[in-house]
Copies of this chain bind each other. A is one copy, B any other.
Amino acid sequence: MDYKISDKLAALKPSAIREIFKSLTDPSIISFAAGNPSPLSFPVEDLAALSADIFANQSTTALQYSVTEGYPPFREAIKKRLGEKFGIGRDFDETIVTTGGNQAVELCCKVMCNEGDVVVCENPSFIGALNAFRSNGAKTVGVPLKEDGIDPEGLEAVLSTTPNVKLLYLIPTFQNPAGVTSTLENRKKVYEIAKKHGVLIFEDNPYGELRFAGEEVPTYKSFDEDGLVMYCSSFSKILSAGMRIGYACGPAPVIQKMVVAKQVEDVHTNIFFQMLCYRYMTERDLDGHIAEIRKIYAKKAGLMLSELDAHMPKCVKYTRPEGGLFLWCTLPDGMSSAEFVKKALERKVAVVPGTAFNCDTEAPSDSFRLNYSTPSDEDIVKGIGILSDLAREMFC
């Protein structure tokens, strides 16, 4: 039988990260390739206790079909927290619970884009979002990400000359993969450009609560008085990634269509874990727990940076993150990272090549991404040593 795969999926390759993951079945490999939260960040005992109580007292609700928008008390709690803590949400906004944050990205694209429409992204950007756009037949067009955020002049040029741009996808805080947090000045400029062109901003903020140094920068959504911003975050990095609970807050007409689209994807998100999340939020100390996670990541990032500072040849540059999960390394003189990544894997250290994050899938990259949240301290020391030796041999 000849399977005629749709154009959008025929063109979509499994992500490079995924391919690297397959090699990770070898336990002797040190992986800096994941984007996993530290298992130390899971409040297992609290979740177990609340879970037992849900089975004992709320099992019918927790095991039955539920509403697509999300468990109503949970949606309310999310809305309240977003408003009180981050100044997010106006009267024209609604909230939807999604099966992980990425579902919100995918749903929003499906709601806004016909096949062939364009999503403008920071270049580089998160592979999971880029592929979500591509899986809906949308085209991704990249605008360079600079030190203070997406390049406003580049953005203006693209929006002025590209037909059918329907979304501007941004990860303004602790950007994945590049680690950049855009400045407030940059955000204000970009907001005005998007407003001028009538393009919805999708603000993806999965790492925003993981700041362990520096000053908070207000989210786009917090100053959105025009219904221009769809905001998205998740509990993956602050409670559990495996439960797949995310949410979006944005203009009602778009959220309502996302609800319709979600209904036919998965009807609703696992209701037991929505209730569990809700009870954790309201009966335990979520903010205290997040403060503990920040300490873990401050320590992990600090260790990786001190090892890099001590051993990595100076010709290799790297970011100094103030939060999030990643470091972004750049090789000297625009060298391609492909060979370096391949040789590192031969020496049993896995990192993700920058090509995985390119909007233009054929473009080369001089960069690679390092994750510090998942590996043990011992593996951080050993793995950075191996990468430093390799860089010295190859480049410096």
Contacts and interface: CB of A to CB of B under 8 A. Distances in A.
Contacts of A60: 39, 42
A7 interface: yes
A270 B257 contact: no
A28 interface: no
A135 B260 contact: yes
A2 B102 contact: no
B266 A244 contact: yes
A48 interface: yes
A7 B102 contact: no
Interface in A196-245: 198, 200, 226-228, 236, 240-244
Nearest to A37: B64
A125 to B, nearest CB: 13
A23 interface: no
A253 B110 contact: no
B39 A263 contact: no
Interface stretch (A51-59, A288-296, A381-389): A51-59
Given A2-B198, A9-B110, A115 B132 contact: no
A172 interface: no
A12 B260 contact: yes
22 contacts: A1-B200, A1-B226, A4-B112, A4-B166, A5-B254, A5-B257, A6-B114, A6-B117, A6-B166, A9-B260, A12-B257, A14-B263, A37-B64, A44-B55, A44-B63, A48-B52, A64-B242, A65-B242, A98-B266, A114-B115, A128-B263, A270-B273
Contacts of A375: none
A51 B55 contact: yes
Nearest to A62: B242
A52 B263 CA distance: 30
A271 interface: yes
A183 interface: no
Given A14-B260, A52-B48, A64-B39, A265 B111 contact: no
Nearest to A14: B260
Contacts of A8: 110, 114
B52 A64 contact: no
| Total copies of this chain within the assembly | 2
Contacts of A55: 44, 47-48, 51
Most buried by B among A34, A48, A66: A48
A7 B114 CA distance: 7
Contact of A267 (B117, B244, B270): B244
Contacts of A270: 99, 242-244, 270, 273
A268 interface: yes
Contacts of A47: 55, 63
A244 B268 contact: yes
A266 B111 CA distance: 16
A9 B64 contact: no
Interface in A1-53: 1-10, 12-15, 18, 21, 34-37, 39, 42, 44, 47-48, 51-52
A111 B6 CA distance: 5
A265 B112 contact: no
A380 to B, nearest CB: 18
A56 B129 CA distance: 34
A162 to B, nearest CB: 15
Given A242-B63, A243-B270, A270-B243, A264 B44 contact: no
B260 A106 contact: no
A278 interface: no
